[in-house]
Chains A and B, each alone.
Chain A
Amino acid sequence: MSRLEAKKPSLFISDPLTKDAVSQSLSLLNRILKSCYGPAGRLKQLHNGVGGYVCITSQSSAILGRLSVSHPVLKVLTASVQNHVARFSDCGLFTAILCCSLIENFKSLPVPSCTVIKISKDLLSLCTDYLKSEACGCRVSVDFSNLKTLLCLVRSVLTSKPACMLNATEVDHLTMLIVKAFMFTIPCHVETKAVLGKCVTVPVKGRRVLDSTVLPGLLIETPEIQFAKLLSVKRISSDAIKIALFCVSMSGDLFNPEEGMITVHHGISLEMSELNQLLNVGKQLVNDEVGLVVCQKVIHPSLKQYLKENQVMVVDRAGLSVMEPLSQMTGSKPIASIHSFSPSCYGSLKDVCTKSFGSKHFVHLIPNDTVVCSLVLCNRNETTWDELKTCSLSTSSFKDADYSQTQYQLIADAFCSSLESVACSLSHDDEILTDTVYGHCWLVPSGFPSVSNWSDLLSKCGCGINSNTQNLNWRLLRPHFGSPTPQSCPEEPSVKAADLLTLDCFAAKYSGLQVAVETANLILDLKCIIEDQN
């Protein structure tokens, strides 16, 4: 019996931004994110307070994914940043910090919000125009025939994640692997529309980072018992194995078990009839000379036994992640039914062998055309592995985004106080200087008195493009909270870092800037919140 309860009235909150709780939460969030920013960013321990897994990270995707924010304003903010990260996998912190700072700064202005929004839109377009223009001093285009820039870019991303705990050799090794993996995914024969292949990450925890490697083709983990008994595979010719790919469960359990009641007579076993159907599938596969059967889910042990007795190799529990690359690599169509399927679904494979990494055993599927590769990623323990995985994902995916633009660029940004405060949070121990010639960023150890002669202390700017050759007229970069003057921004853009040593992804930062400004505008525009309390 269901219980009826009277509906509660909705809660109406007007002018949410003027509330203390909101601004406190907002500034706390801003503080958390700022302290994570940059290569020396501080890490955060995320856990549930009752023991169990602890996540140590400084990445926006990990933090925002685990934060449970309650206030609608913060929800809007985190959602739009997460959306940006989902698309570009980079510059999440930049976006979030800029957005928070913009809201904080604009909010305190004695200007009506509609005016602020209008002006900030103009500023945004000025900035984006500048960034896209040839005059932009912080752009480096990426030459795809020369690996150097690409390597720098990957290295910048890897070194910006301190929680990975990588040393110099390990960063070099991984950088090479990631770029290699990216190269594997570029098809050799470019047709009208080039489609990048896939790189599948294979986790191996507990091993050294230097044990990581890239292999063409796919690796699928198998339990040891099967590993010991992999028989020679039936081939249709010397370099072709027919493969059938199933995406439906072949474990022999019944279809949609939740709907309605099935009544059967005593002595009739639905399980047996299902198994018979599976064995029929097995017969068809054997007749069609299939050499390898891969199933995303589980295969019934009896069917496995039957197939093995007929020299068909079986790999089950392959998982969803390998299905798409596997079908792309072999040309096979995933079979979604065990009742009827046509031989046209089969694909082909060059070879199959077995590989072991540490205590894990894999079946290595080698395709004829290598657009799919596997990145075997090792790190010492779970926490650092998770961090490493997320950041290698970001490196591989952001390259995707840039390939379509065929131009890889670099940014510098321009929004006075808010941008400066982002730049300031880049460093946590040192003072940041900026020069008035190039607008690049320089670091000095804190604790020095305000020396006039900076040139004795500085040798290279943060990104590594400019060295200390002439007097660049440095000044201290300090956040000027409370006295922002947005109108003056375009005239003196305080251009922040970037270059051959430290690179950021143009597309990601460009979008980050837009998302930040637009989200800030949206939030500033909020007049009331209506909360359904049921």
Chain B
Amino acid sequence: MAFRDVNSRRHIGLQQLSSLASAGRTLLGPMKSCKFVVDESTNQSMLICSAVRLIESLDLSSAAGQLLNETIQAQNKEFKTGMSTLLFLVGAWSNAVLECLQQNVPVSAIVSVMSEGLNSCCEKVQCLQISVHDVNKELCSSSVRPNTSSSKTYEVACDGFLNPQIFLCLQKEVSPSKELVPRNSCSHQEADSNLNKGLVSPLADCKQKRLTHSRYFSALATSPSSSQLDDSQVCLSGQSAHPCECYGLGHLARALSHGNEPNMKLLKSIVAYQHERAECSGSNQFNIAEVVTCCLPGLPESYSCICPGFVTLVSPEQAAVIKHLGDKPLRILLTEGDLTEAYRHLGFTKPRNIRTVLERPDLQEGRPGDVWLNTSLDILTRSQVSLVLVKGHVCENLLERCVANKILVVGSVPQKVLSAFGEASGAQPVTYLTQLSASCVGSGAQLELWTASDGRAMDLGELVPVRIRVRGLTLLTAVLTTAVPAKMQLVEDRFWTLVYRLHHALRDGKVFLGGGAVELLCLSHSQALAKQTLKLANKKPVKEFHGPWLAASSAEYKPVVLQALASGWSQYLAAVMCNTAKATSLFEAQTLIEHHLKKAADCGSPSAYVLKEFQTGGMFQGGPVPSTGSAEGCRVYDNVTAKTEAWRRALDLVLLVLQTDAEIISGPQTNQLLNSPASSEFMFL
């Protein structure tokens, strides 16, 4: 039982956080620099470029490190995005708080002012949210028109658009625009009107011009059928209002991809497949639960693609079975748990004290396991099952016997694959083969070897990719390839990040203006708050959340603490600018930020300034310019909840560690601590 004080002025926990977080600086923003992680014991190396993988490979024996790990894992589990932001802000705010401590700011003041400040920032940036529907409308229309900013060129373009497809799209777009003013979640914000002007009015102006230029449109504009489209419909069914081939999501996917071009194409392809199916069944337009990945290291990255069905790797012997089975429809069985003799369902304890006596030795019986093997195989052949998908492991012997009997058994199948196959084939998952009845077996499964886009079948040394399908199966497999095996994990991580970004954007129903716009507004807002409180400092104290307990002290320290909060955003912006090569040095980045901050302050309304900058594509132009796309394609958006939650989690962690004044170490290590060089720091109970 040991006890150690955490020196309050040079808080050990905060220093640990800051040094751990500094490792993740280069992972911020669209241009990440990857890191090599080398395992010294095995000499294996892996490329990483996400905060989760970084944290996984760092030494986290300290208590603060453990808390950081826990926080990042929680963000990863919930959002799959925003972890690098979280890690960076933890570092930046730890440093800022340490500086506050140096200036003798009391802990309670730091805690209350910082958390209030962040809340205020989160409210402020609500005016930079745009509904997904509006983003789609704007992006899709801008993709039809080559240039939004000049209406002159647009007129020209309009004339050239007289082909039936474009005509259709304009017909659908025109009438809603008369009534539909895109609404933000916070209509009272000053920036709202700016937003409408900035984002939509050019569009509306253009359309009016369109009306005068074309004899078709004046009649159509009053058509009652199209004017009945309302906000939610457009948003949910999306597609009807969107003419281009992106099905309402492709452009959004691009804007969220932050320059992640190859994965963006995969995502577009998923959207296209799911759209096609949604048209038949009327179901949800983007369902993340119906996507799985299959990694094929060794192929060039251009071979990555989306395949309907389940693609997985099997042994060459099993691949031979597939060739034998051909493409006739097969009966399919799904099992939960392992397919081994010893396996019992969860919660079953095997009795140890049972002795079996054999009265007459039967020499004909073979090895003890054979009985189970024979009955299992017998059950499978009797019910004419040719394909078994198993959630857990499969007994090697059974696997061999099944191959000999032309049955394909695939182990380690994810739960969502089992569910999808159950739904499509009518199979009911069983735990034991003895449970098998006619109603449990599904039908109509088809097997084939997976072939790459150029038609060549793959044989990746020991394993062969196969594709399993059933009529009506909603499952899509993202086949991810890379020629560098060390990059495999990275490719898969980046794919899921993008998929989840689109998922969260749709779930939130809104996105943030990206490329640092939100952070710049936070920075300017927290600086403004600091100035404001400096003026009010000697007037009456504001009533605060913690009541009079804490109000007494915090007012005086407010400007210092708010500056500390602001420095987090400022460092964030500078780091992103350096990573994306918009600035060559931190100093240049800081100067650029100062320049923008000053202009924003001069403009009177910082949010309006940020919006204008975003519109003109100045400072917030995202990522690397793709070689094929136009400048338009670079508009960048961010997730709302994932981002604000990452901020909140980062600040919570820093404040939590800040408020700890001691470590209490329990357990059997007391003697080790007593003998360790640091033993003088500890006190023992």
Q: Which residues of A are at the interface with B, using a C-beta cutoff of 8 A?
A: 25, 28-29, 32, 35, 38-40, 42-54, 56, 63, 66-71, 74, 159, 162-163, 165, 167-169, 171, 205-208, 224-225, 228, 249, 251-254, 257-266, 270, 297-298, 300-302, 305, 309, 317, 358-359, 380-384, 427-430, 443-447, 457-462, 464, 501-502
Nearest-neighbour CB distance to chain A for B59, whole angstroms, equals 9
A38 to B546, CA, bound (A): 12
Q: Which of A56, A381, A427 interacts with B74 by CB under 8 Å?
A: A381
Residues of chain B lying within 8 A (CB to CB) of residue A447:
104
CB pair B685–A29 under 8 Å, yes or no, is yes
CB-based nearest B residue for A69: B685
A225 to B428, CA, bound (A): 11
CB pair B656–A445 under 8 Å, yes or no, is no
Q: Which of A49, A52, A53, A446 interacts with B669 by CB under 8 Å?
A: A49
CB-based nearest A residue for B354: A262
At the interface, yes or no: B680 with Cβ under 8 Å from chain A?
no
Residues of chain A lying within 8 A (CB to CB) of residue B667:
48-50, 68
Interface pick from B63-71, B129-137, B139-147, B311-319:
B63-71
Q: State whether A301 and B345 are in contact (beta carbons under 8 Å apart), knowing that A67-B1, A446-B106 are contacts in the complex.
A: yes
At the interface, yes or no: B244 with Cβ under 8 Å from chain A?
no
Interface residues of B in 78-120 (CB under 8 A from A): 78, 104, 106-109, 111, 115-116, 119
Interface residues of B in 628-685 (CB under 8 A from A): 645, 648-649, 652, 655-656, 659-667, 669, 673, 683, 685
Q: Which of A47, A165, A225 interacts with B63 by CB under 8 Å?
A: A47
Residues of chain A lying within 8 A (CB to CB) of residue B652:
165, 380, 384
Q: Which of A53, A70, A257 interacts with B66 by CB under 8 Å?
A: A53
Determine the interface band of chain B, counting residues with CB < 8 A from chain A.
Answer: 35 or more
Q: Which of B348, B552, B655, B662 interacts with A443 by CB under 8 Å?
A: B552
Residues of chain A lying within 8 A (CB to CB) of residue B349:
253, 257
Residues of chain A lying within 8 A (CB to CB) of residue B435:
301-302, 305
CB pair B660–A225 under 8 Å, yes or no, is no
CB pair B351–A270 under 8 Å, yes or no, is yes
CB pair A253–B348 under 8 Å, yes or no, is yes
CB pair B347–A43 under 8 Å, yes or no, is no
Residues of chain B lying within 8 A (CB to CB) of residue A257:
349, 351-353
Residues of chain B lying within 8 A (CB to CB) of residue A48:
665-667, 669
Residues of chain B lying within 8 A (CB to CB) of residue A63:
664
Residues of chain A lying within 8 A (CB to CB) of residue B151:
none
A272 to B418, CA, bound (A): 28
CB-based nearest A residue for B547: A501
Residues of chain A lying within 8 A (CB to CB) of residue B156:
none
Nearest-neighbour CB distance to chain A for B428, whole angstroms, equals 8
Q: State whether A298 and B345 are in contact (beta carbons under 8 Å apart), knowing that A48-B667, A163-B656 are contacts in the complex.
A: yes
At the interface, yes or no: B357 with Cβ under 8 Å from chain A?
yes
CB pair A464–B348 under 8 Å, yes or no, is no
Nearest-neighbour CB distance to chain A for B27, whole angstroms, equals 21
CB pair A224–B63 under 8 Å, yes or no, is no
A297 to B346, CA, bound (A): 10
CB pair B61–A51 under 8 Å, yes or no, is yes
Q: State whether A443 and B685 are in contact (beta carbons under 8 Å apart), knowing that A50-B667, A428-B107, A430-B553 are contacts in the complex.
A: no
CB-based nearest A residue for B648: A380
CB pair A464–B70 under 8 Å, yes or no, is no
A168 to B119, CA, bound (A): 10
Q: Which of A171, A258, A460 interacts with B545 by CB under 8 Å?
A: A171
Residues of chain B lying within 8 A (CB to CB) of residue A427:
549
Residues of chain B lying within 8 A (CB to CB) of residue A225:
336, 415, 418-419, 429
8 pairs of A and B residues whose beta carbons are closest in the complex: A298-B347, A429-B106, A301-B431, A48-B667, A42-B661, A168-B545, A381-B74, A40-B108
Chain B residues touching A, majority SS: mixed
A148 to B652, CA, bound (A): 29
Q: State whether A43 and B419 are in contact (beta carbons under 8 Å apart), knowing that A167-B115, A301-B432 are contacts in the complex.
A: no
Q: State whether A40 and B107 are in contact (beta carbons under 8 Å apart), knowing that A48-B669, A262-B355, A443-B548 are contacts in the complex.
A: yes
A429 to B2, CA, bound (A): 26
CB pair B661–A43 under 8 Å, yes or no, is yes
CB pair B685–A74 under 8 Å, yes or no, is yes
CB pair B67–A383 under 8 Å, yes or no, is yes
At the interface, yes or no: B550 with Cβ under 8 Å from chain A?
yes
Residues of chain A lying within 8 A (CB to CB) of residue B661:
35, 42-44
A301 to B437, CA, bound (A): 14
Given contacts A68-B666, A167-B116, A257-B352, 6 further A-B contacts (CB under 8 A): A35-B661, A49-B666, A49-B667, A382-B74, A428-B107, A461-B548
Residues of chain A lying within 8 A (CB to CB) of residue B221:
none
A69 to B356, CA, bound (A): 50
At the interface, yes or no: B36 with Cβ under 8 Å from chain A?
no
Residues of chain A lying within 8 A (CB to CB) of residue B663:
44-47
CB pair B545–A428 under 8 Å, yes or no, is no
Nearest-neighbour CB distance to chain B for A271, whole angstroms, equals 9
A225 to B685, CA, bound (A): 50
At the interface, yes or no: B60 with Cβ under 8 Å from chain A?
yes
Q: List 5 A-B contacts (CB under 8 A).
A: A35-B662, A48-B667, A68-B666, A460-B548, A464-B548
CB-based nearest A residue for B361: A266
Residues of chain B lying within 8 A (CB to CB) of residue A74:
685
Residues of chain A lying within 8 A (CB to CB) of residue B60:
51
Interface centre among B119, B429, B666 (most CB of A within 10 A): B666
CB pair B353–A429 under 8 Å, yes or no, is no
CB pair B348–A429 under 8 Å, yes or no, is no
CB-based nearest B residue for A429: B106
Residues of chain A lying within 8 A (CB to CB) of residue B664:
32, 44-47, 63, 66-67
Q: Which of B345, B655, B662 interacts with A32 by CB under 8 Å?
A: B662
At the interface, yes or no: B462 with Cβ under 8 Å from chain A?
no
At the interface, yes or no: B430 with Cβ under 8 Å from chain A?
yes
Residues of chain A lying within 8 A (CB to CB) of residue B683:
28
CB pair B545–A167 under 8 Å, yes or no, is yes
CB pair A380–B348 under 8 Å, yes or no, is no
CB pair A266–B356 under 8 Å, yes or no, is yes
Residues of chain B lying within 8 A (CB to CB) of residue A258:
353
Q: State whether A502 and B66 are in contact (beta carbons under 8 Å apart), knowing that A43-B660, A48-B669, A264-B355 are contacts in the complex.
A: no
Nearest-neighbour CB distance to chain B for A422, whole angstroms, equals 16
Nearest-neighbour CB distance to chain B for A100, whole angstroms, equals 13
Residues of chain A lying within 8 A (CB to CB) of residue B74:
205-206, 380-382
CB pair A263–B553 under 8 Å, yes or no, is no
At the interface, yes or no: B219 with Cβ under 8 Å from chain A?
no
CB-based nearest A residue for B67: A54
CB pair A302–B660 under 8 Å, yes or no, is no
At the interface, yes or no: B350 with Cβ under 8 Å from chain A?
yes
CB pair B656–A67 under 8 Å, yes or no, is no
CB-based nearest A residue for B79: A206
Residues of chain B lying within 8 A (CB to CB) of residue A168:
119, 545
Residues of chain B lying within 8 A (CB to CB) of residue A445:
106, 552-553, 556
CB-based nearest B residue for A460: B548
CB-based nearest A residue for B78: A206
CB pair B348–A270 under 8 Å, yes or no, is no
CB pair A251–B660 under 8 Å, yes or no, is no
A302 to B336, CA, bound (A): 13
Interface centre among B354, B415, B540, B556 (most CB of A within 10 A): B354
At the interface, yes or no: B541 with Cβ under 8 Å from chain A?
yes
Q: Which of B430, B439, B659 interacts with A43 by CB under 8 Å?
A: B659
CB pair A70–B106 under 8 Å, yes or no, is no
Residues of chain A lying within 8 A (CB to CB) of residue B540:
459
Residues of chain B lying within 8 A (CB to CB) of residue A459:
540-541, 548
A260 to B115, CA, bound (A): 62
Q: Which of A40, A262, A382 interacts with B550 by CB under 8 Å?
A: A40
Interface centre among A42, A169, A249, A443 (most CB of B within 10 A): A42
CB pair A67–B666 under 8 Å, yes or no, is yes
CB-based nearest B residue for A304: B431
CB pair B548–A52 under 8 Å, yes or no, is no
At the interface, yes or no: B280 with Cβ under 8 Å from chain A?
no
Q: State whether A265 and B356 are in contact (beta carbons under 8 Å apart), knowing that A47-B63, A159-B546, A305-B430 are contacts in the complex.
A: yes
At the interface, yes or no: B77 with Cβ under 8 Å from chain A?
yes
Nearest-neighbour CB distance to chain B for A212, whole angstroms, equals 15
